[in-house]
Amino acid sequence: MSTRRKLVAGNWKMNGSLVANEALVAGLVAGLGEVACDVMVCPPFPYLAQLRSLLAATPIGLGAQTLSEHPVGAFTGEVEAGMLRELGCRYVLVGHSERRSLFGETDAAVAAKFVAAQGAGLVPVLCVGETLAEREAGLTEQVVSRQLQAVLDLAGFAAFTSALVAYEPVWAIGTGRTASPQQAQAVHAHIRGLLAAGNEAVAAGVSILYGGSVKPQNALELFGQEDIDGGLIGGASLVADDFLAICRAAN
């Protein structure tokens, strides 16, 4: 049994409104007493300031869904790492599969974002995962290794003392199709093994979250796996009772 503390993160994607966010946070806070794991939420950029204030007196951490790899300057529409820090973010997702597939983020860009995040004192949550075609072609480990290696090449192994990894099979995100606990555990162990090859202590300490249609019904078995240290939750993080039930499964 690992001693790593479990963390459950909510990725709100492009959802929310001032009114809905307030109700969701009120629902979460009301049920937090029974939650023992770390919890954080990642709202869309425009709501970070609102969430900073709503979460101020709570143990819930704040994260952003992406960031720019660039320093401040002429990058219209982008958001720089230090701005996220100033708005109270502790975490930031990097390389979410929707960013990679819909917005063309390459492994190199994801690695640069990871470094930019750490440069501003943010904890990056590096998202990796294979598509269905890649899994069916037997390429899962190869794809995940390539995505992780791009970050290791730029940031080094020690960078993972203040970072998290999220394994999110693309075919399981928002589809209702979850990796079995055994499938997920196998990839998590592979990721930890890659990190252990460079630094065993870092590998033993890094939290690796699972994401992809986690629901109250499947969370307990997933989080019970040796190398699964919590979850990155999309759809179910928008419903307070479901998100809380998933957090309790990580207790």
Nearest CA to 167 out of 137, 201, 207, 133 is that of 207
CB of 56 to ligand PEP, least distance (A): 25
Is 203 a residue that touches ligand PEP (CB under 6 A)?
Answer: no
Tokens 């300031």, residue located: 49
Task: Give the type of residue at 180.
Answer: S
Structure tokens at 134: 């890649």
Total site size for ligand PEP, rule CB under 6 A: 14
Q: How far apart are CA 251 and CA 241, in angstroms?
A: 15
CB of 97 to ligand PEP, least distance (A): 8
* DSSP for 151-198, written as a single string: HHHHH-GGGGGG-EEEE--GGGTTTS-PPPHHHHHHHHHHHHHHHHHH
Structure tokens at 154: 């730029």
Choosing from 211, 222, 246, 249, the residue that interacts with ligand PEP (CB under 6 A) is 211
Is 121 a residue that touches ligand PEP (CB under 6 A)?
Answer: no
Is 66 a residue that touches ligand PEP (CB under 6 A)?
Answer: no
Choosing from 35, 147, 234, 245, the residue that interacts with ligand PEP (CB under 6 A) is 234
- For ligand PEP, what does the binding mask look like between residues 11 and 40, x meaning CB under 6 A? x-x---------------------------
Is 230 a residue that touches ligand PEP (CB under 6 A)?
Answer: no
Query: Which is nearer to ligand PEP, 203 or 236 (by Cβ)?
Result: 236
CB of 77 to ligand PEP, least distance (A): 22
Query: Which is nearer to ligand PEP, 11 or 199 (by Cβ)?
Result: 11
CB of 65 to ligand PEP, least distance (A): 9
Is 95 a residue that touches ligand PEP (CB under 6 A)?
Answer: no
Q: What are phi and psi of 93, to 5 degrees?
A: -75, 140
Under 8 Å CB-to-CB from 142, ≥6 apart: which residues?
134
Is 107 a residue that touches ligand PEP (CB under 6 A)?
Answer: no
Nearest CA to 59 out of 114, 5, 113, 117 is that of 5
| DSSP summary character for residue 226 | T
For ligand PEP, which residue has the nearest CB?
234
Q: How far apart are CA 20 and CA 174, in angstroms?
A: 21
Is 147 a residue that touches ligand PEP (CB under 6 A)?
Answer: no
Q: Classify strands 208-211 and 38-42 as parallel, antiparallel or unpaired.
A: unpaired
Query: Quick check: helix, strand or coil at residue 128?
Result: strand
Under 8 Å CB-to-CB from 109, ≥6 apart: which residues?
69
CB of 22 to ligand PEP, least distance (A): 22
Is 185 a residue that touches ligand PEP (CB under 6 A)?
Answer: no
Choosing from 112, 151, 228, 232, the residue that interacts with ligand PEP (CB under 6 A) is 232
Residues that bind ligand PEP (CB under 6 A): 11, 13, 168, 173-174, 211-214, 232-236
